[in-house]
Amino acid sequence: MKKDSSLLAWGLLFPTLLVLGCFVIYPALQSFVLSFQDVEPFSKQSFFIGFENYMVLFRSPDYWQSLRVTFFFLVMTVIPSLLLSLAIAITLDANPFFQNFLRTLFLLPVAISSSMAAMLWIFIYNPTAGFLNYILDVMGIQGPNWLADPDYALVAIAVATVWKEIGFNIIFFLAGLTAIPTELKEAAELDGASPRQRLFYVVLPLLSPTLFFVSVVSVINSLQSFGQIHILTAGGPMGESTTLVYNLYRDAFVKFRTGLASSEAVVLFILIMGATVFQFRMAKKRVHYG
Amino acid sequence: MDKLTLTRQNKNRIVATLILLVPAAIQCFPLLYLLCVSSKKGGEVIQYPPRLLPEQLTLINYQEALSSAPLLRFLLNSALVATSITFLQVFTSVLAAYALSRLEFKGQRWVMALIVGTMMIPGEVTIIPNYFTLASWNWLNTYPALILPFSVSGFGIFLLYQFFKTIPKELEEAAMLEGCSRLRFLFQFMVPLSLPAITAFAIYSFVGAWNQYLWPLIVTQSTEMQTAQIGIGMFRSQNESMSWGVIMAATAMLISPTVLLFIATQKQFVRGITMSGIKG
């Protein structure tokens, strides 16, 4: 009987383990190995070169630029999208008129992929015929050529990204807010707490697990952004929107520098893990589960 | 007291509605703008100052977009790939989650740890070797290349594992006494009982598969294999010769299926995404 069930178990697990082995575990280890190798682009012959790829990487000003770009992009997407979606979710939860309609509207971008979101914004940013510069013009401001200006390209991508991401965050915040018992808010109100006090001492602490989850996911998503960058600027102008992932894509699949790109993949993996672990550490002090 | 709270409640509702007006307008602007630009006649799009509403509605951009790129093919590719990935992920997750939650075997804990561990590996880490693997099998630019690497989801297994654990064991023991085999029990009882979790995961999985960008960009080489997300890039790179009206019309057609699907299934959609959020 027991032997029977263990045979069945391995049988049921077989497709899962086969696919994970082939397409997740093997390639993850292989990336690590390749990062210590020099791979010839055409013959695919490879030679062990130790830490050479990593040295090249960290000596390259372009790579440092992409680290900086990735960090700015992270700050410009995660913080605004968290604050805006939290504010919108709290207001939506306060039972406004047309609540269902408004909720649908805010959640809608969830159904739109990052590349399609980029297509929606691309014409808005058009320097001559786009609506954004028209509005700025009406206000007497000369708008830049958003996507071609090194100072503004990354901001423009970040705005389109935030536009797309907040719907996803609002879903979680709304779920978290509905889970807060109304009696708690009412009790605080009866005790004479002002709306602000209720927000900061009742609602936000109870929402902190959701806030934590959403921020972890947002950071990971931001670090992995690709589609909108590829559509809007293709990493330009002058590398000012080349993030780590974009750099990796170009090194691996445009320049065919397999070994170097693999070392970038390893660094990216460490950074994502590091950011996640860091947030878990921070959360230990501040998140209230209860 | 009653009247007082009622009016105050109304006042709060009005304030909340007013606060949301501006963000709501910003949030729907790109979509409305898309519809407006895509239904303007050629020269009107680049007119300055721009008018928001078209002088004369026209579908000519939509016709032109359809004739300049295989948009339907892109959508069919996306639908085929996303449906296959969803189906395979659900199927493999059901089998694996059942084995892990209900059967006893040596190494169970290790397998579980391994599967949960794979959830932490970002896709960028695996794409380079996966590309070489598929190239060596001569599978580039095929549907299996788009589907197979994603046919298992560590997250799906984890989610269903947790759900299966909540189904009482007694039910299974009783069924087995009646002579029901394990597999029959799985498909006749466990799966129907877990339908809310399975639907939620299926929606999550479908959205993720539909929205994929990097991998399809790398493995599709010919236009007829491209998914909607990649195909739209054609309009981006050819924008010198193509009118903005046509580009926006193509975008409108490629986003409409998921937008409509979202509006039609919003409740399940939201539940799918929030349930999946339990992973945190």
Q: What is the pLDDT of residue B5?
A: 61
Q: How far apart are CA B245 and CA B38, in angstroms?
A: 4
Substitution target from A115, A159, A260 for chain B, most B beta carbons within 10 A: A115
Of residues B240 and B220, the one with the higher pLDDT is: B220
The torsion angles phi and psi of A47, rounded to 5 degrees, stand at -125, 140
Task: Say if residue A231's pLDDT is above 60.
Answer: yes
A191-213 pLDDT, tens digit each = 888 888 888 888 898 898 889 98
Partner residue facing B229 (CB), from A26, A108, A115: A115
Q: How far apart are CA B119 and CA B141, in angstroms?
A: 26
Q: What is the pLDDT of residue B280?
A: 34
- The confidence band for B3, taking pLDDT boundaries of 50, 70 and 90, is low
Q: What is the pLDDT of residue B276?
A: 63
**Average pLDDT for residues B122-142, to the nearest whole number?**
94
- The confidence band for A163, taking pLDDT boundaries of 50, 70 and 90, is very high
Substitution target from A36, A81, A116 for chain B, most B beta carbons within 10 A: A116
Q: What is the pLDDT of residue A42?
A: 75
Contact A123 B154 (CB under 8 A): no
Task: Say if residue B277's pLDDT is above 60.
Answer: no
Query: Is there a contact between A220 and A273 (Cβ–Cβ < 8 Å)?
Result: no
Substitution target from B112, B124, B148 for chain A, most A beta carbons within 10 A: B124
Task: Say if residue A217's pLDDT is above 50.
Answer: yes
Q: What is the pLDDT of residue B264?
A: 87
- The confidence band for B203, taking pLDDT boundaries of 50, 70 and 90, is confident
A49-81 pLDDT, tens digit each = 989 999 999 999 999 999 999 999 999 999 999
Question: Among residues B29, B81, B120, B211, which one has the least CA distance to residue A226?
Answer: B211
Task: Say if residue B45's pLDDT is above 80.
Answer: no
Contact A30 B229 (CB under 8 A): no
- The confidence band for B100, taking pLDDT boundaries of 50, 70 and 90, is very high
- What is the least distance, in Å, from the CA of A282 to any CA of chain B? 15
Q: What is the pLDDT of residue A27?
A: 96
Q: What is the pLDDT of residue B16?
A: 87
Of residues B142 and B60, the one with the higher pLDDT is: B142
**Average pLDDT for residues B49-76, to the nearest whole number?**
87
Count Cβ–Cβ pairs < 8 Å, chain A vs chain B.
Answer: 269
Question: Which amino acid makes up residue A15?
Answer: P
Query: Is there a contact between A229 and A155 (Cβ–Cβ < 8 Å)?
Result: no
Task: Say if residue B275's pLDDT is above 80.
Answer: no
Of residues B240 and B61, the one with the higher pLDDT is: B61
Of residues B278 and B6, the one with the higher pLDDT is: B6
Task: Say if residue B22's pLDDT is above 60.
Answer: yes
Q: Residues of chain B with pLDDT > 70: what percent?
A: 94
User: Whole-number mean pLDDT of chain A?
Assistant: 91
**Average pLDDT for residues B249-253, to the nearest whole number?**
94
List CB contacts (< 8 A) between A261 and chain B.
128
Query: Which range has the worst mean pLDDT, A235-239, A243-247, B42-46, B61-65?
Result: B42-46
Q: Which class is domain B63-279?
A: mainly alpha
- The confidence band for A290, taking pLDDT boundaries of 50, 70 and 90, is low
Encode chain A in three state secondary structure.
Answer: CHHHHHHHHHHHHHHHHHHHHHHHHHHHHHHHHHCCEEECCCCCCEEECCCHHHHHHHHCHHHHHHHHHHHHHHHHHHHHHHHHHHHHHHHHHCCCCCHHHHHHHHHHHHHCCHHHHHHHHHCCCCCCCCHHHHHHHHCCCCCCCHHHCCCCHHHHHHHHHHHHHHHHHHHHHHHHHHHCCHHHHHHHHHCCCCHHHHHHHHHHHHHHHHHHHHHHHHHHHHHCCCHHHHHHCCCCCCCCCCCHHHHHHHHHHCCCCHHHHHHHHHHHHHHHHHHHHHHHHHHHHHCCCC
User: Whole-number mean pLDDT of chain B?
Assistant: 88
Partner residue facing A272 (CB), from B122, B149, B157: B122
Contact B49 A134 (CB under 8 A): yes
Contact B95 A262 (CB under 8 A): no
Most confident range (mean pLDDT) of A7-16, A208-217, B44-53, B157-166 is A7-16
Q: How far apart are CA A234 and CA A66, in angstroms?
A: 13
- The confidence band for A87, taking pLDDT boundaries of 50, 70 and 90, is very high
Q: What is the pLDDT of residue A189?
A: 81
Task: Say if residue A86's pLDDT is above 90.
Answer: yes
Q: What is the pLDDT of residue A1?
A: 45
Beta bridge partners of A48: A37
Domain ranges of chain B: 12-58, 63-279
Task: Say if residue A249's pLDDT is above 90.
Answer: yes
The torsion angles phi and psi of A235, rounded to 5 degrees, stand at 90, -15
Nearest chain A residue (CA) to B213: A227
A104-131 pLDDT, tens digit each = 999 999 889 999 999 999 989 988 888 8
- The confidence band for A2, taking pLDDT boundaries of 50, 70 and 90, is very low
Query: Is there a contact between B236 and B251 (Cβ–Cβ < 8 Å)?
Result: no
B150-185 pLDDT, tens digit each = 999 999 999 899 889 888 888 888 998 988 889 999
Residue with tokens 């029977």: A4
Q: To which CATH superfamily is domain A58-286 assigned?
A: MetI-like (1.10.3720.10)
